[in-house]
Each structure stands twice: as C-alpha cells, then as structure tokens.
Amino acid sequence: MSKRFAFPLQKALDWYRQSLAAEQASLERIIGEVHGLDRLKESLERRQHSEHEELHRADPILGKDLRGLANYSALIRADLARLAAEKSRKEASLVEQRRRVGVHHRRVRVLEELEQRRKADWVRGVSVEEDSLASDVFLASMSRKNTRNRAPGSKEQNP
C-alpha cells in the first residue's frame, strides 16, 4: 500500500505560519500602543478640562491662578503635541505592519493551497493504485478459478 502523504514544503509552511503568528502578535502590540496613546490623550484632555472647570467655579479668580492655569495648559498642550507625534509614528508603523502581515498571510495561503492540490493529486494517485490493485486481484482470482475448472480431475469439467 502507499505511504502516508508528505508535503515536501512542510517545513517552509510551518516556518511561514510561525512568522505570520509573530507578525500578527507585533501588529496587536502596535494596535495596543495606539489605543494606549488615545487613552492617555483623553486623560490629559479630561484633566485640562477639569482644571478649567475648577478655576471657573472659584469665586475670586486671582492673577496667579490664571497664570498657573496658563502654564498648566501649556504643559498639557505640549504633552498633547508629543502624543500626537508619537501616535502619528505608531500609525505609520501600524500601516507597515499590516502590510507585512498581509505578505506573510499570502505566503501561507499559497503554500496551503499548494499542499491541498498536492494532497488531492496524491489521493487520486492512491485511488488509481487501489483500483488497479483491486482489478489485478479480481483478474488473478478469475484466472485461478478458470485454471481450477480446467484442471484434470476437477468436478466441473466440460466434455
């Protein structure tokens, strides 16, 4: 009988699958970093808003309070600008990482499709081999039966 199916590029397929998994993990990490930057931005904006609200609720607003708020707002704006630049860099790396994941995904898919085609060809070959073997066995049994029928001393001999 035939051997088991063996895909000759199995090691390459396994390596590409591992590589795809690593690239997808990297993509998820970058997405998490972008979300973290978004949460940090929202936090800074909430703090800035709450400081403004707190100052507006105060009855006497002093000049030093306004100056402190202006300095605090300037720090928040600088942090927001830094976060925006960082987010822009992360989004650029996110686009690149998505491209890399797509390339790895296509490589895996091509090898998987090749494996499926090779396996289908192998299954057809095995089926043809089994059919041929079954035919040979049938013909051999028919030949033995005919030989036994024609042998001298057989019960079913025709005159």
| CA atoms of 59 and 6, how far apart (whole Å) | 82
Four-residue CA torsion sign, 57, 58, 63, 67: negative
Query: pTM for the whole thing?
Result: 0.69
Q: What is the pLDDT of residue 75?
A: 93
Q: In degrees rounded to 5, what are phi and psi of residue 7?
A: -85, 120
Check whether 41 has a pLDDT greater than 80: yes
pLDDT band at 98 (very low <50, low <70, confident <90, very high): very high
Q: Mean of the pLDDT values across residues 58-65?
A: 78
pLDDT at 57: 80
Return the number of other C-beta atoms located less than 10 Å from residue 45's C-beta: 12
Contacting residues for 15 by C-beta, under 8 A, at least 6 apart: none
Report whether pLDDT(68) > 90.
no
Nearest to 80 by CA among 28, 42, 114, 106: 42
Confidence category of residue 159, pLDDT binned at 50, 70, 90:
very low
Which of 78-82, 141-145, 153-157 has the weakest average pLDDT? 153-157
Given a cut of 50, is residue 151 above it in pLDDT?
Answer: yes
Give the three-class secondary structure for 62.
Answer: coil
Q: Which residues does 91 contact at the CB level (< 8 Å), separation at least 6?
A: 34
Span 72-85, pLDDT tens digits:
889 999 999 999 99
Residues 6+ away with beta carbon under 8 Å from 110: none
Q: Sorting pLDDT into bands at 50, 70 and 90, what band is 89? A: very high
